[in-house]
Amino acid sequence: MIDIIVTDINNNQPVMNPDQYDIEMPEALEIGTSVLTVFAYDEDIGENAKLEFSLQGNTDDKFYIDSIYAAQTGVIKILEVSVYTETSVCDHVKN
């Protein structure tokens, strides 16, 4: 399981929608391949509405996440070519 952490510092806590993603990936994906786009929103405005996504948990340095501020999304990509099976991705939202 990989935890997706969304952080911001202000008065409204960010919320992921949906709050859990379950995916299956084909084996031997190329480095840089996008495997999942996650979404969150924050009711703040301006700088306080910017979200930063990060991964925690047993990623084994095989995944990374790009934060796309304007779209309030995070794109999880492959860092290492490997054989994958089923992966469950859950979120933890921190303020």
Report pLDDT for 95. 40
- In the Cβ-directed half-sphere of 41, how many Cα atoms lie within 13 Å? 3
Indicate which CATH number applies to the domain containing 36: 2.60.40.60
Per-residue confidence at 9, pLDDT binned at 50, 70, 90?
low
- Find out whether 7 and 67 touch, Cβ atoms under 8 Å: no
- Find out whether 94 and 37 touch, Cβ atoms under 8 Å: no
pTM over 0.75: no
The full 3-state SS of the chain, as one line of letters, equals: CEEEEEECCCCCCCEECCCEEEEECCCCCCCCCEEEEEEEECCCCHHHHCCEEEEEECCCCCEEEEEEHHHCEEEEEECCCCCCCEEEEEEEECC
The count of structural domains within the chain is 1
Report pLDDT for 56. 81
Per-residue confidence at 82, pLDDT binned at 50, 70, 90?
low
Domain residues for 79?
Answer: 2-93
